Amino acid sequence: MSSSLDFSQSRMKWFNEPDKSFAQGCKLHMTVNPDTDYWRITHYGFIRDNGPYFYMEQAGAFEASVKISGKYKELFHQAGLMVRIDDKNWIKTGIEYVDGVQNVSAVVTREVSDWSVIPRHDSPKSMWLKLLRKSDFVEIKYSFDGVKFDMLRLAYFPPEVKAMIGVVAAAPGKQSFDVIFEDFKVEPVI
């Protein structure tokens, strides 16, 4: 088993770097800029591709995991993991704040976006995610204790093409928010 990535020493790259972020060992602190999001067309009729995304490239099958702790306060504040090929083929998953409630969320995009949520009325302090990319699918699991993981989604994802995998956040409204990503790992799987 590999150790957590040291964000401050990694070869990860920014796509839409936020104005404020700093890495400290296996923790990445970020203040998410307002008016940022990832979405394509469905229901809302717009395309947004401008949230902060700190990623690495990874070929083949892999499992990514991370712990997320956010101070969500405005509609659609969100933070989690994203696997991405390009602006028309990506999956983001994590916590999304809707109507005063944290929701376990997944958006799958292949030309157009779809969205699924599981409301959490207890506003957990942290959430753990695992994203498995294998063959022609991505499997998403989540946990609130870092031990017991439940499946959220199994979705098609184009096989045999290198993908970007990393941590993502967005604040589509007028307010920024703070989030901490910890213990990010990407491990090859057979």
pLDDT the model gives residue 46: 87
Cα separation of 181 and 69, whole Å? 7
pLDDT the model gives residue 127: 97
User: In sequence order, which residues have a C-beta less than 8 Å from that of residue 165 and are 6 or more positions away?
Assistant: 55, 56, 57, 58, 62, 64, 81, 82, 83, 84, 131, 133, 186
Q: Does residue 165 carry a pLDDT above 90?
A: yes
Q: Are strands 62-70 and 127-134 parallel, antiparallel or unpaired?
A: antiparallel
146-161 pLDDT, tens digit per residue, is 999 999 999 999 999 9
Short-list 10, 11, 46, 45, CA closest to 26: 10
Q: Does residue 73 carry a pLDDT above 70?
A: yes
Instruction: Round to the nearest angstrom and report the end-to-end CA distance of the chain.
Output: 14
Q: Does residue 60 carry a pLDDT above 80?
A: yes
* pLDDT band (50, 70, 90) for residue 190: confident
Q: What is the pTM of this model?
A: 0.95
Q: Does residue 65 carry a pLDDT above 60?
A: yes
pLDDT the model gives residue 123: 86
Most confident of 5-9, 24-28, 41-45, 119-123: 24-28
| Contact status, residue 3 vs residue 65, Cβ threshold 8 Å | no
3-state secondary structure of 7: helix
Q: Does residue 1 carry a pLDDT above 80?
A: no
Rg (C-alpha) for the chain, rounded Å, is 15
User: In sequence order, which residues have a C-beta less than 8 Å from that of residue 17 and are 6 or more positions away?
Assistant: 52
In the chain, what percentage of residues exceed pLDDT 70?
99
Q: Does residue 85 carry a pLDDT above 70?
A: yes
Query: Which parts of 59-149 are beta strand (E)?
Result: 62-70, 78-86, 89-98, 101-110, 112-120, 127-134, 137-143
* pLDDT band (50, 70, 90) for residue 174: very high
Per-residue burial over 33-65, b if 16 or more Cβ lie within 10 Å, else e, is beebbbbbeeeeeeeebebbbbbbebeeebbbb
* pLDDT band (50, 70, 90) for residue 2: low
Q: Which domains does the chain have, with CATH numbers?
A: 7-188 (2.60.120.200)
